[in-house]
Amino acid sequence: MKSDKAEPAKGRSIRSLSAIVKAGLPSKVEALFRAAIRFLILSAFLALLLFPLLWMLSSSFQSNEELYRSPPRWIPRSPMLGNYASIIASRDFLRYYINNFYVSLITAAITMLAAVFAGYSLSRFRNRLTTGISVTLLSTQMFPVIGIIIALYAFFRSLKMINTHAGLVLALTAASLPFCIWLIKGFFDDLPRSIEEAAEMDGCSRLGILFRIVLPLSKPGLLAIGIFTFMQAWDDYLYGLTLVVSDRLRTLSVGISLRYLGEVSYDWAQVTTISVVASIPVFFLFVFFQKYMIQGLTAGAVKG
Amino acid sequence: MILTRKFRDGLFGILTLMPAALIVGICLLIPVVRTVGYSFLDYKLSRSASRVKPAFVGIKNYMKTIESGELWNSLVITVVFVFWVTLILFLMGMALSLLLSGVRRGGKVLRGIVLLPWITPTIISALLWTWIFQPQYGALNFVLKSAGILSENAAWLADPDLALPSIMTAAIWKQLPFMFLMLLAGLQGIPKELHEAAIIDGATPLQDFFAVTLPSLRNVIRTTILMTIIANFKQFPLFQIMTNGGPMNRTTNLAILSYRHAFGNLDFGSGAAVATVWLAILVVFSLVYGKIFPEGERE
């Protein structure tokens, strides 16, 4: 604002650097000032995005007595591992955790397999039917999940598939498939056909082409759909809440919400510790596969 | 020979499509159609084993939820929630992506850090914010009181006027990274020459933004906003964990209402009616959205 005042006012508050250079004004001051503003706004964004996570981490190393005092200790004075020890010792938590891993991994595996086949089919065989299927798949994204679950519950009940991991995996696979097919189809669309045609000339079967040529070339896409499905299944709450009844089979989100969240008061030391432990697998995935996740997600949307 | 190859290819195309089509058909498409059917039935799940055949009751389920006012209440809450969350997300996402696209050193690391809320599991996000909003020991009340903005502790999630904005905060926090990521990808896809040409022609950064940046982002914005609107229309875990629809139903969105009928009261008919209204709104909305914002030309 200072450099704006120094300049003959023309009623515009934001000026391009080049205009200022032309006017012969101290562009360095202006640039420095801009950089400072940028830095401040960016810091505010970072604080907003990171504070809840850091506070979760810090809280998990404090006892409830420490957490319930004012002013709060932003950094634990004597970090304690007691919360973690009691969580790991808790049989229930461990079971929910293992169930969640199991369900998420199987869901990811089935989804990847089915999505690769379907995506390849939709990408290579174009006719009215496959176009129709593509559109239908995309439109399923706006279905209200409860709307699906109400009938699915009745259906699974008649098949005695309520309260089974198989039912839960099927439902989660169906929920992930449309997006994954759409994503992997985009990858297949971008591959040059000439390689496949050459392989076909050499007598390679369709299946051979898919597994030996197309898949190795679309590894990033394959990884992306696998990770997305795992994360979506790991994140699931509503399907697990409705389709699984017995505590023995419960998945993580549902287990946490039903067992550790009281009606009146929460044991915040415990809840924040659970939160940290529950986030660890997806954070790890993210650290190692960030590139593929970002590539997979943005490729589709930027293309339109 | 040519015919058989064509036939074999066709067969291959259909067979490879089958597994996915079957799973999606059985666990997604058919259930939705059946739910629409249920909405016209008196379909109550009894806890006992004896099952009574659901009777057709016409639009009674719809009338019940309309007359009690709960459908309208939830519809308004859902739309208000979606509107503000999407608008704020877009503005903040735009600002953040513009800021970060200019960062040269450490941009990748910064981007990774910014994305963390996006991968935090949803119910964990709900718990984190519930802890921050905690009335007596929560971090937010302490900070606001220390800064002199609040004189007394606010009961964020229990206050009828503050509960919905509080959930919006958590939703925005969780989804800002996604919005940012999409817009950043779009920004990075704009050829530099376009900006340079605009600046040479004497455009101010603001003019450059409106004449070059925004039009180039058209398809990204269109897709991302639609995804954001649909995702927030469906939002369930944040509401369920943070307020469970309360206080005084001020945060009962369509998802919570439908769940409460179907799995709280075991009245599948009413739950299905709410879900059907909701589905109809989304279908109509997507069609209108497609008409108002047609897909731009692809390069």
Give contacts of B136 with chain A, Cβ < 8 Å: 68
Residues of A in contact with B241 (CB under 8 A): 257, 261
Q: Is A297 on the interface with B (CB under 8 A)?
A: yes
* A196 contacts in chain B (CB < 8 Å): none
Residues of A in contact with B222 (CB under 8 A): 304
The phi, psi pair for A67, rounded to 5°, reads: -70, -30
The two three-digit tokens of residue B297, written as one number: 């030309």
Q: How many A×B Cβ pairs under 8 Å?
A: 297
Q: Report the pLDDT averaged over residues B154-172.
A: 93
What mean pLDDT, rounded, does chain A reach? 85
CA-based nearest distance A198→chain B, Å: 16
Whether chain B has a CB inside 8 Å of the CB on A43: the answer is no
Q: What is the pLDDT of residue A74?
A: 87
Q: What is the pLDDT of residue A25?
A: 53
pTM of the model: 0.88
Percent of chain A with pLDDT over 90: 41
Q: Is the pLDDT of residue A3 over 70?
A: no
Residue A304 has pLDDT above 70, yes or no: no
Residue of B nearest to A117 (CA): B16
Answer yes or no: are the C-beta atoms of B90 and B172 closer than 8 Å.
no
B51 CB neighbours in chain A (<8 A) are none
- Residue A213 sits at the chain B interface (C-beta within 8 Å): no
* Torsion angles phi and psi, residue A189, rounded to 5: -60, -35
Q: How far is A118 from chain B (nearest CA, A)?
A: 4
Contact state of B137 with A272 under an 8 Å Cβ cutoff: no
Among all residues of chain B, which has the CA nearest to that of A47? B114
Residues A290-300 have a mean pLDDT of: 80
Q: What does the pLDDT read at residue A191?
A: 85
Cβ–Cβ below 8 Å for B203 and A14: no
Contacts of B127 in chain A (CB under 8 A): 256, 261, 271-272, 274-275
Inter-chain CB proximity B230 and A45 less than 8 Å: no
- Minimal Cα–Cα distance from B42 to chain A, Å? 14
Confidence of residue A235 (pLDDT cuts 50, 70, 90): very high
Q: Do A139 and B137 touch (CB under 8 A)?
A: no
Contacts of B34 in chain A (CB under 8 A): 151, 154-155
From A7-16, A93-102, B32-41, B46-55, the region with the lowest mean pLDDT? A7-16
Judged against a pLDDT cut of 80, whether residue A283 lies above it is answered with yes
